[in-house]
A and B are shown apart, each in its own frame.
Chain A
Amino acid sequence: MADHAHHAEIDKVTGTSTTGHEWDGIKELNTPLPRWWIWTFYACIVWSLGYFLVYPAWPLVNGYTTGFFNYSSRAELAVDLAKLDVVRGDKMAALAAAPLGDIEKNPALLALARAKGKVVFGDNCAACHGSGGAGAKGYPNLNDDDWLWGGTLEQIEKTILYGARSGHDDAHLGNMPSFGKDGLLTKDQIITVANYVRSLSGLSTRPGTDLAAGKQIFAENCSSCHGDEAKGNTELGAPNLTDRIWLYGSDEATLIDTLTNGRGGVMPAWNERLDPATIKAMAVYVHSLGGGK
């Protein structure tokens, strides 16, 4: 049992003093810390007080002490970001000056545009088009080779600058009319033309559909936008109806819905939110996703 009498004594074998603690006959030797160690420890405590004073630290009832020197990591970040802009200034200037078509031929500019474009895309475009530009129903996939408003670098840049049906004066215009709602076509005509359109890309049609009648309806109502061959028109944002890519879906019900209620998705104009060099970078990025023409 512990002997609670604390009597330090000198241990005979080692000559070292004991702490006076004893357990079952085993006495604890006192091996004191070196003095410098203790002083280093005290110095660390004193040093830590500096942090309390200099940094925003002590919680108050509704706030905290802001510390001396108005130190704030936020302000530090702002300074660092400003420095970064200066560092990157030359490169961004080179990007701004380069003709759009030359960027992909210059490995350094291409790498810069892709890196910059990727970040800006993630911040601004990913909400609709997905983080990798994969798109969703109603939001085009930017990785494929099908383009409503054209897939050349210039066309992509223009679409980003002014958007589609965004209200900007230079925005892409063109709507899919609501043939059903507006009474332009009857329900039966819509079903017929929907099946005809499906047949254009080799999809199955409802048994008994009069495809010749469908072709007739198409020629009278749809070909003005989608073209006689139904290959679409990038001036009007009219999609190619003969390929394998569908923005809203290719099943009969979706096509009937499209014909009945019309379509007209909106893409915002980015020219007011982003500077020209950034939009250039983004155009190159989107073009390099793979589908660019």
Chain B
Amino acid sequence: MNKPLRDTDLVPDDDGGPLYAAGRKIYPQRVSGSFRRIKWILMAVCLGIYYFLPFVRWNRGLGAPDQAVLIDLANNRFYFFFIELWPQEIYYFTGLLIVAAITLFLMNALGGRVWCGYLCPQTVWTDLFFAVERLIEGDRRERMRKAAEGWSLQRGAELVLKHSIWLMIAWWTGGAWVLYFADAPTLIKELVTFQAPMVAYIWIGILTFTTYTLAGFMREQVCVYMCPWPRIQAALTDEWALNVTYKYDRGETRTSLKKAAQARALGEQVGDCVDCNQCVAVCPTGIDIRNGPQLDCIQCGLCIDACDNVMTKIGRPTRLIGYDNDINIHRRMEGKPEVFKPLRARTVVYSALIAGIGAIMLYALLNRSLLDLNVLHDRNPVAVRLSDGSIRNGYTIRFLNKRGFDRVVAVDVDGPPNAVIHVVGADSITPDRPMIILARDATTELRVLVDSRPYSEDELAPSTPVKFHVTDIGLGEVASAKDVFVKP
């Protein structure tokens, strides 16, 4: 735990030790400064994207959804602006997740848990909820006073107002979520007229509940007890990573402003920290950063702003708390200049990995085929002898047409001698060259038979490679797939 537990915090069990600890209510104080501003901007950007992205339109032609970002579960399609992904292409998501993970590592190697402090949804929504709370109940002191005072009519009204706004934000959060899974304007219409599918209401309910609970009540408890990242991060960080750090070389020893002035007048060495506890008051996880780096610190930088304000007021240099590391603290104590090394083996490797995987994914995306086929050889029987002695192999071929229009393709086969191909249900224009129509943006599964008339038994090997080609008659696009042709 952050603050040392006092005996009174603990409920003793038989052993004399506490079994559980009651949560400590934290009243973070309002603060202003550069990090607070960055946080406001990032919050606006993140929430803006989250809440409004479903309404962005993207023209994909007739019959295709015109929503820029859409996860179409019913039809197994994922749309992201100009990209349309099929379930077979789920590896792009794998790639994205890998890139995201390495990006997290890179951020961590450079600036510690910057993710936690600025971008994590838990942080962003909690911050928003804090803002609402402050607006209605007032700042830290006021809230603490009101909590201690107990009930009054005005207090009740405030609480009702606060929770209503919280619930509205939470509900809007759930509402925005479901809009990613269906055409947003249509779904909104359906939602208000109670025509929407049950699962939409259920998901809105779930997200309303989780947002309200996690951002309104659990808050720092999520970061401290539920989230695995602080634990993983501790194993991934190194001594060069810049973390929010109290520069004890400058701050200690702490004294009051008056004593510090007196001491300085006498030419004595004193620290810059005036022990005003501002850094503690603003901390959303309620910790004292001056105790050193700790798991509960989400690296939000608010204590930096708080302390900077104090330092400015007392006329001392700012950044008594700042992004720093222990190496520099020790270097300063030894009188050496500070060094920052953003270019280190791990940051270079992480960046190279991100660039490499990103390039591979981009290449694959730009070169992915919009016509494709998968071949499955019959297993039972693997081959059939026909009455005239020919040998027949059966295949099930799945044709994929990822274009937004129907197209006519011809199916050809290379491989066994004198091969003749039949497609069950095909429309043939020329004999031996079956033509099929592939519906737009869909797969078509057909049974394909290949006959071979060997001149003699020995002419055909037990297994001959075959290659199927599909050719788009209009566009000339070709795709092919390999399999084998076997003897009975």
Contacts of B380 in A (CB 8 A): 130-134
Query: Which of chain A's residues 29-82 have a Cβ closer than 8 Å to chain B?
Result: 30-38
| Residue A182, interface by CB 8 Å | no
Select B20's contact among A32, A132, A240, beta carbons within 8 Å.
A32
- Most A CB contacts (10 A, CB to CB) among B378, B379, B424, B445 go to B424
Select A290's contact among B4, B5, B384, B425, beta carbons within 8 Å.
B384
Nearest B residue to A104, CB-CB: B425
Nearest A residue to B12, CB-CB: A8
| Residue A7, interface by CB 8 Å | yes
Nearest B residue to A147, CB-CB: B387
B19:A20 contact, CB within 8 angstroms: no
B381 to chain A, nearest CB (A): 4
A143:B17 contact, CB within 8 angstroms: no
Select A38's contact among B1, B16, B20, B424, beta carbons within 8 Å.
B20
| Residue B340, interface by CB 8 Å | no
A36:B23 contact, CB within 8 angstroms: yes
A156 to chain B, nearest CB (A): 14
- 0/1 string, B365-394, CB within 8 A of A gives 1: 000000000000011110011111100101
Contacts of A18 in B (CB 8 A): 17
B386:A34 contact, CB within 8 angstroms: no
| Residue A210, interface by CB 8 Å | no
- Most A CB contacts (10 A, CB to CB) among B6, B17, B19, B386 go to B17
A15:B4 contact, CB within 8 angstroms: yes
Stretch at the interface among A106-114, A157-165, A217-225, A254-262: A106-114
Nearest B residue to A37, CB-CB: B225
B432 to chain A, nearest CB (A): 16
A226 to chain B, nearest CB (A): 14
Contacts of A290 in B (CB 8 A): 384, 392, 394, 422, 424, 447, 449
CB contact under 8 A between A243 and B387, given known A19-B15, A20-B15, A134-B380 = yes
Contact sample, A vs B, 26 pairs, CB 8 Å cutoff: A14-B4, A17-B18, A18-B17, A19-B17, A20-B16, A20-B17, A31-B1, A32-B17, A34-B21, A34-B23, A35-B22, A107-B437, A107-B444, A110-B424, A111-B445, A132-B381, A143-B381, A143-B384, A144-B392, A244-B385, A244-B386, A244-B388, A288-B424, A289-B394, A289-B447, A291-B386
> Chain A residues in contact with chain B, CB under 8 A?
6-8, 10, 14-20, 30-38, 104-105, 107, 110-111, 114, 130-134, 141, 143-146, 240, 243-245, 288-291
**Known A34-B22, A132-B381; further 13 A-B contacts with Cβ < 8 A:** A7-B16, A8-B16, A17-B17, A20-B15, A33-B21, A34-B20, A37-B225, A107-B425, A111-B445, A132-B378, A133-B380, A141-B381, A245-B385
